[in-house]
Amino acid sequence: MSDNAVHPFDARGVAKRFRHAAIFGALESLEDGEVMRFVNDHDPLPLLNQIQQRYGNQVGIHYVAREPGNIVIDFTIQLGAPAAVGAPAAAVAGGGGCGGGGGHGCCS
């Protein structure tokens, strides 16, 4: 993967009430193989659960840093990944996306 395929997303600058919607929108604008490097001041466990429920295995989650006040997570779009058990059909329709959005469109 080239460096230009990693896109930074600093959640600390996004108002709390808009954060999850902004993150989902950013993820849905990425193409297969691209990475969103997420930075936050706390571990976003509820968000990670929502991402897993919404996208299944099509969004890989890898911690780059996990220490108090410094959380860095790489979210990798992997459309060829098998769906997780119990993943919603919209997350896997059409071989990797339901067509919503201009990127990989894994959710409407």
Q: Specify the DSSP class assigned to residue 41.
A: S
Mean pLDDT rounded to a whole number for the chain: 81
Over residues 46-52, the mean pLDDT reads: 96
* Residue 34 or residue 108, greater confidence: 34
Residue 62 main-chain phi, psi, to 5 deg? -140, 120
- The 10s digit of each residue's pLDDT in 65-103 is 999 999 999 999 999 877 665 544 333 333 333 333 444
Three-state SS at 5: helix
Is the pLDDT at 53 greater than 80? The verdict is yes
Write down the domain spans for the chain. 3-96
What pLDDT, on the 0 to 100 scale, is given for residue 81? 78
Out of 3.30.110.40, 3.30.200.210, 3.90.1150.10, 1.10.287.1080, select the CATH number for domain 3-96: 3.30.110.40
Alpha helices by DSSP H, listed for 1-103, are 19-28, 45-55, 93-96
3 Cβ contact list (under 8 Å, min separation 6): none
Q: In Å, how far are 41, 44, 72, 94 from 69, measured between CA atoms?
A: 4, 12, 10, 39
Phi, psi angle pair for 107, to nearest 5° = -150, 145
